[in-house]
């Protein structure tokens, strides 16, 4: 017979305290057994010689083996760690042996099945290919018919995620330490633009599967510009990055990094591996055509993370590529999701994962390379053209002529639809189709889409139909004689410039003589609207100071931190655009000119905006980094004073902003020149610093002006600002002293003597 007994009703007098938990009791009136042991696997084992023995089978899938020779005892079949669990107590001599065998077979079936399920649970899995895999996919992620996990396709600004649907528990109770874990995966990519990848992929462990607010491009589909770096992200990632992003303190465009809540890596190193036999480092290219394997091993006790990389099918190198102490206890929630994230930017790349293995508290099982799917074949354009020509030739007569005529007609239409020149292939970012831009801007006819007129062309707002990304499309005017020259300059320079304070050029299009440039959309427009439009809410001082420092940082990048020197030549408030957080970004590089470090600029044509031109630029027509510094000084005064460089409606004394500020500095009333709309909500020391720095940058002598690296150090407080020279002359005075070039000076800095004079050079009026 079988009796159901509550665990709380057992008498402790018959139980040895060393073998059963203190809260476990057995009623000695129910059965004559004196010793039981509750093992960790949930089986209460009988220890008394008077009853049959319950012992663990040597078979790992079995829980019990029964010695059925004894006849007068009770069996406690199962126990758990919960106090309300029920036990079944069976009296052996009141039940035929066949019934006992049936009971134990059923017990083995149910309990053994639970054991087998645990061994293949979510914390230990292997995917040798992903055909039929149960993963949560979003964005561009998909599983191909060949069993490849494809995270991104050949489309711009895409992101894709693939995660295990069930979260994993990484915390060791009572939630103090993190379990050790190990994973390995094989990945590869296919590029549409040879030699240029974008942007990479990452193995990720995250507290949530919701990445809807994340952006693509350099953020790898993990964060956006506002989320990046926040501890509330609870994201750990191993990034395989193929784009150089200086804003993330990256050293190159081919590296592996350990990321904690941010794309500024805790540790990173160029992609490669250390050979076991020589110990030498061998470089690898993450955009290579061959597949590669990554191993990630975390020791929860030592909090050490090792990341290893090698080409397939090389065995795992003994020395890891990265090894760092990483405490994940402050990062991981309980539970967490594991998987992959990837993104593309302006350059098209398809990212694939061929196989994946993961194990908690152990080493991930090896992948079977023979079972892994193959990466897609790389189509040879040369081979395709040979076949395209040879097949028609092999055909007879009329069929050959018709096919050749069709090929010729298609090529002619493509040639005239969108022209492609050599310099575009070498320097340009990826092209947009005219059809996409036409749809994005509603045909360039909707007035609501018109943002304004920039240098040489109109600017329209658009939403790309494929990615729903907001962009600004600049359409160069037909009447512009310098349209093509400006277009080439912008493509060559901006296409490769990347800085958080520069407006990013995403791509371009050429069709039937039309020139179109596609930029990041800046929702708050240009800075001059906030300075001079009375209907707009005035900017507070903290925002203005942040904008000034941001523009200075961007200009320093153009002058010193990029591979070539870029002279902007048209720095002014209307060319500073504000993003959603009112951060300043320098734009409109239509007048930019490139020249190598250490050489003189090869340009003598005067271009720029009245009021921002340095005296030597007006005289010689040659632009340098110091002429940019001069324009920046005028821009700084413009932002601090809320006045245009040349105010035609002001009194004669206030006509030229620079002279007016200089005169007030001499009188000791420098702060009186600040924008009256600031009221009393400003930091006097910062305002005085900005005004003095503006005067110093606008010094008539180029040698007396600081370079942009010094300017940034002054603004950040790393260096004290030197005193202004008492011999600082106004430009009106200098112009009268230099009679030879007096006319040139009054053009750039109109005074009461020449308020009506203009210039025939390419100088636009200040906006």
Give CA separation, 662 vs 81, 317, 502, 636, 638, in Å.
83, 67, 30, 14, 13
- The residues near 99 (Cβ < 8 Å, ≥ 6 apart) are none
Query: Which residues lie across from 462 on neighbouring strands?
Result: 471
| E-only strand ranges, 532-673 | 565-567, 576-578, 584-586, 593-595, 607-609
CA 142, chain centre distance (Å): 21
Q: 43: which 2 tokens?
A: 């089986």
Cα–Cα distance measured from residue 398 to residue 624, given in angstroms and rounded to the nearest whole number: 64
CA torsion 746-747-750-754 (nearest 10°) is 70
CA torsion 86-91-97-102 (nearest 10°) is -10
Cβ count near 707 (within 10 Å):
15
Give CA separation, 27 vs 9, 14, 15, 655, in Å.
6, 8, 9, 104
Cα–Cα distance measured from residue 574 to residue 638, given in angstroms and rounded to the nearest whole number: 11
Instruction: With beta carbons less than 8 A apart as the criterion, state whether 450 and 460 touch.
Output: yes
Of the chain, the end-to-end C-alpha distance in Å amounts to: 99
Instruction: With beta carbons less than 8 A apart as the criterion, state whether 295 and 316 touch.
Output: yes
Cα–Cα distance measured from residue 243 to residue 303, given in angstroms and rounded to the nearest whole number: 29
Cα–Cα distance measured from residue 157 to residue 160, given in angstroms and rounded to the nearest whole number: 10
Closest among 656, 644, 681 to 731, alpha carbons compared: 656
Active-site amino acid positions: 570
Cα–Cα distance measured from residue 342 to residue 236, given in angstroms and rounded to the nearest whole number: 14
Cα–Cα distance measured from residue 748 to residue 746, given in angstroms and rounded to the nearest whole number: 5
């Amino acid at each position: 017979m079988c009796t159901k007994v509550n665990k709380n009703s057992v008498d402790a007098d018959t139980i040895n305290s060393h073998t059963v938990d203190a809260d476990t009791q057995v009623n000695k009136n129910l059965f004559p057994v004196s010793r039981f042991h509750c093992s960790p696997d949930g089986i209460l084992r009988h220890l008394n010689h008077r009853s049959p023995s319950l012992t663990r089978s040597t078979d790992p899938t079995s829980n019990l083996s029964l010695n059925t020779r004894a006849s007068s005892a009770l069996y406690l079949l199962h126990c758990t760690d919960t106090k309300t669990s029920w036990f079944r107590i069976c009296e052996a001599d009141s039940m035929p042996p066949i019934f006992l065998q049936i009971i134990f077979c059923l017990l083995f079936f149910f309990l053994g099945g639970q054991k087998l399920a645990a061994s293949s649970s979510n914390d230990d899995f292997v995917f040798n290919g992903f055909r039929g895999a149960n993963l949560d996919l979003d964005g561009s992620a998909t599983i191909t018919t060949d069993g490849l996990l494809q995270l991104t396709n050949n489309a711009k600004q895409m992101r894709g995620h693939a995660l295990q649907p069930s979260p994993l528990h990484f915390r060791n109770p009572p939630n103090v330490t993190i379990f050790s874990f190990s994973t390995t995966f094989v990945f590869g990519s296919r590029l549409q633009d040879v030699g240029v990848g974008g942007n990479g992929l990452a193995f990720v462990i995250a507290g949530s599967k919701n990445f809807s607010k994340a952006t693509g491009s350099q953020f790898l589909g993990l964060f956006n510009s506002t989320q990046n770096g926040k501890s509330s992200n609870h994201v750990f990632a191993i990034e395989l990055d193929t784009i150089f992003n200086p804003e993330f303190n990256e050293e190159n465009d081919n590296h592996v990094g350990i990321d904690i809540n941010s794309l500024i890596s805790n540790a990173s190193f160029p992609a490669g591996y250390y050979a076991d036999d020589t110990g030498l480092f061998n470089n690898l290219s993450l955009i290579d055509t061959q597949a590669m394997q990554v191993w990630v091993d975390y020791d929860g006790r030592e909090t050490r993370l090792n990341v290893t990389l090698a080409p397939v099918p090389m065995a795992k190198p003994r020395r890891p590529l990265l090894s760092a102490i990483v405490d994940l206890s402050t990062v991981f929630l309980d539970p967490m999701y594991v998987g992959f994230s990837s993104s593309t930017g302006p350059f098209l790349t398809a990212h694939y994962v061929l196989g994946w293995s993961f194990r908690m508290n152990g080493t991930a099982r090896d992948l079977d390379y023979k079972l892994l799917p193959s990466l897609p074949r790389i189509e040879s354009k040369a081979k395709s053209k040979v076949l395209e020509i040879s097949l028609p030739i092999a055909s007879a007569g009329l069929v050959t002529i018709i096919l050749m005529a069709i090929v010729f007609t298609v090529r002619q239409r493509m040639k005239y639809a969108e022209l492609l020149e050599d310099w575009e292939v070498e320097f340009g970012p990826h092209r947009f189709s005219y059809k996409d831009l036409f749809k994005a801007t509603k045909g360039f006819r909707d007035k609501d889409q018109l943002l304004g007129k920039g240098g040489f062309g109109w600017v329209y707002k658009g939403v790309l139909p494929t990615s729903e990304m907001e962009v600004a499309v600049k359409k160069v005017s037909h009447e512009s004689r310098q349209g093509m020259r400006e277009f080439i300059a912008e493509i060559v320079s901006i296409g490769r410039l990347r800085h958080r304070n520069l407006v990013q050029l995403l791509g371009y299009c050429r069709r039937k003589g039309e020139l179109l440039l596609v930029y990041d959309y800046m929702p708050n427009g240009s800075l001059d609207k906030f300075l001079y439009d009375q209907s707009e809410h005035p900017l507070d001082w903290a925002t203005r100071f942040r904008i000034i420092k941001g523009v200075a940082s961007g200009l320093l990048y153009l002058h010193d931190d990029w591979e070539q020197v870029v002279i902007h030549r048209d720095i002014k408030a209307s060319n500073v655009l504000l993003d959603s957080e009112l951060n300043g970004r320098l734009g409109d590089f239509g007048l930019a000119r490139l020249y190598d470090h250490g050489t003189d600029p090869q340009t003598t044509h005067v271009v720029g905006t009245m009021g921002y031109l340095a005296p030597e630029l007006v005289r010689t027509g040659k632009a340098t980094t110091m002429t940019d510094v001069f324009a920046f000084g005028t821009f700084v005064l413009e932002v601090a004073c809320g006045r245009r460089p040349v105010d035609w409606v002001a009194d004669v004394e206030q006509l030229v902003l620079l002279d007016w500020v200089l005169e007030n500095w001499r009188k000791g009333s420098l702060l009186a020149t600040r924008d009256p709309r600031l009221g009393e909500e400003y930091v006097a020391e910062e305002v005085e610093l900005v005004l003095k720095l503006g005067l110093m940058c606008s010094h008539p002598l180029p040698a007396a002006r600081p370079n942009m690296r010094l300017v940034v150090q002054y603004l950040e407080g790393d260096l004290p600002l030197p005193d202004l020279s008492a011999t600082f002359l106004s430009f009106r005075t200098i112009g009268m002293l230099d009679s030879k070039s007096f006319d040139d000076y009054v053009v750039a800095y109109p005074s009461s003597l020449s308020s009506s004079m203009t210039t025939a050079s390419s100088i636009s009026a200040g906006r």
